[in-house]
Amino acid sequence: MRMSKGLFPTLKEAPKEAKIVSHKLMIRAGLMRKLASGIYTYLPLGYRVIRKIENIIREEMNKTGAQEVLLPTLSPQELWEESGRWEVYGPELMRIKDRHNRLFGLGPTHEEVITDLARREVKSYRQLPLTLYQIQTKFRDEIRPRFGMMRAREFHMKDAYSFDRNEKDLEKNYKKMYQTYQNIFDRCGLKYKAVEADTGPIGGDVSHEFMVLAKTGEDQIVYCKKCGYAANVNRAEYHRSPVTGHQSSVKEKPLKKVKTPGMKSVEEVTGFLKCKPKDLVKTLIYKVDGKPIAILIRGDHGVNERRLEKLLKAKEILLADEKTIEKVTSASLGFSGPVGLKIKIIADSDVASMKNMISGANEKDYHLININIDRDFKVDRILDIRSVIPEDLCPKCKTKLTFSRGIEVGHVFKLGTKYSQVLKATFLDEKGKEKPMIMGCYGIGLDRIMAASIEQNHDENGIIWPLSIAPYQVLVLIVNNQDKRQIKIAEKVYNSLEKEGIEILLDDRDLRAGAKFKDADLMGIPLRITIGNKAIKGNKIEIKIRKNNKVHEIDKKDLIPKIRSLREM
């Protein structure tokens, strides 16, 4: 491609709305432009990257024997109602009406559609296992789109769905996909970790997220450097460090009620009473399978809801709404406390070892100081329910855990029969018995791979693409467009490399050298060939590697083998 003939709009300054590097560079390098909040146009350079990623995914998926399909973006309300997600998915599911006032959902994910296909087409165990996938535009009306393509409302996803006869086969498929995902992310040049994850609105029992390690990641993960245990903090297990808690020797002080007008949050209360969050106990009212229960947790800790759900053997746990809180505590939100509560109270182990705690007084604008278990209130159960903290140890090998931020680029789920059951996707087994298909689903965010790659690979001058997903592999730069000899050499180089099937960009724009160098760095093409005076006088070709700034000067005749060998790197 000749740059003089195409659209390569680079910017010296990033628009002020872009806050993180990948977003800034994607705009500056001319990969994309914003159309509306969370909705972007891919320009030629950006779309090439997407297609590169797409092809890597496609190749790896095909290797597993999965088949590519293309499901519709629009799907009718009735189908979503069968699975119950027309309700459950909430406003994140975009909906439109056709001219007859029939409602459709714009696909945020396609479990319903694929299960509908399976129930129509798959009848026998002989047709299983089956894995289908697609690469397609998805819509999610994100509560807050941000960071460019990192959290967009219209984005691109590879979603795959597996159908098996039994759990054992699902396990095989799951492992195969897990491995395939590693292959894909490896080929994309990403540094990532696979972590145990929460299943969220997709549902199912087991899931893993593939997290690209980056400071700007929206997720927090925790992992063990020794044994490899890794999980999203929202579900991480841990072995409690023995040093947390333990104040049994402290004397109990007399209970006091203090006025705390309008002080609701931990920060407000601790700021007002001049104490630390760890002196405070939060009283959270949960609805556990519909029944209100009070959870006591230290002010600086959080509840691991998954753990809680498991320990209570509950189907559904939800924080109570304001009305319920007012009914249960007879105070407004922000002033709940355990003293005088009539409902069941569950305390975290760390709370159990606290003395002279501060809590809400179950009375508006009042808190209690020096409350103590047994003396002032009773606890029904003591459980380990707080979420992981930096002091905790690995649940498997008791090594200190490492915290990191991650960008979720892939997610694999064991769905089981969640969708096949409600949508009645069944098959007949060897004995002629009807059974629901056992499903798995596997997603990859293409745009996120692109953004995450930039987060991991850039410098102050711009993007540094890995060869595998670079929009072009080589850029030939003509230093002085007025010099006919330079143009001649550049054209020759360009044509010969193009003939070799190397993806090449020729910067033949009528710009000064400096501007071209800056653009080349910004766009991050891995290999840059500079045609200037050296090429004329010395009969040498200069190749610069974007990644490490190394310059190779080689004879013209060695150019193609050299480029080939550099591409191997």
Partner RNA sequence: CGGGGAGUGGCGCAGUUUGGUUUAGCGCGCAGCGUUCGGGACGCUGAGGUCGUGGGUUCGAAUCCCACCUCCCCGACCA
Binding site for RNA (CB under 7 A): 10-17, 19, 28, 34, 36-38, 143-147, 264-266, 269, 282-286, 297, 299, 301-303, 305, 318-320, 325, 333-336, 360, 387, 461, 479-482, 511-515, 517-522, 530-535, 542, 544
Measured from the CB atom, the residue of 109 and 530 that comes closer to RNA is: 530
Contact 229, 395 (CB under 8 A): yes
CA–CA distance, 178 with 168 (Å, rounded to integer): 15
CB of 215 to RNA, least distance (A): 12
Query: Of the two residues 96 and 515, which places its CB atom closer to RNA in the complex?
Result: 515
User: Please, which residue, 194 or 385, has the CB nearer to RNA?
Assistant: 385
* 13/430 with CB nearer RNA: 13
Residue 130 or 312 with smaller CB distance to RNA:
312
* Residue 295 vs 450, nearer CB to RNA: 295
Cβ-Cβ contacts under 8 Å for 230 (sequence gap 6 or more) = 193, 194, 195, 196, 221, 222, 223, 224
The H or E element containing residue 499 is helix 484-499
Please count the other Cβ atoms lying within 10 Å of the Cβ belonging to residue 566. Answer: 17
| Nearest distance in Å: CB 303, RNA | 4
Nearer to RNA, 2 or 146 (CB): 146
Token pair of 106, please? 């714009």
In whole angstroms, the minimum distance from the beta carbon of 364 to RNA comes to 11
Which of 124, 533 has the CB closer to RNA?
533
**Minimum separation from the CB atom of position 28 to RNA (A):** 7
What whole-number distance in Å separates Cα of residue 473 and Cα of residue 492? Answer: 17
Token duo for residue 222: 């925790």
Distance, in Å, from the CA atom of 541 to the CA atom of 513, rounded to the nearest integer, reads 16
Please tell me the distance from the alpha carbon of residue 279 to that of residue 364, in angstroms, as a whole number: 20
Nearest approach in angstroms of CB 27 to RNA is 8
SS3 147: coil
- Nearest residue (CB) to RNA, 447 versus 519: 519
Nearest distance from C-beta of residue 44 to RNA, angstroms: 17
Q: Distances in Å between the alpha carbon of 137 and those of 153, 206, 445, 536? A: 10, 26, 10, 49
The residue written with tokens 């659209």 in the block is: 7
CB-based contact 461:514 (threshold 8 Å): no
Q: What is the DSSP letter of 338?
A: S
Query: To the nearest whole angstrom, how small is the minimum distance from the Cβ of residue 103 to RNA?
Result: 21
Q: Are 507 and 501 in contact (CB under 8 A)?
A: no
Q: How far is CA 493 from CA 290, 496, 501, in A?
A: 72, 5, 13
In whole angstroms, how close is the CB of 9 to RNA at the nearest point? 8
C-alpha span between 530 and 538 (Å, rounded): 13
Question: Minimal distance in Å, beta carbon 219 to RNA?
Answer: 12
Helix (H) or strand (E) holding 366: strand 366-371
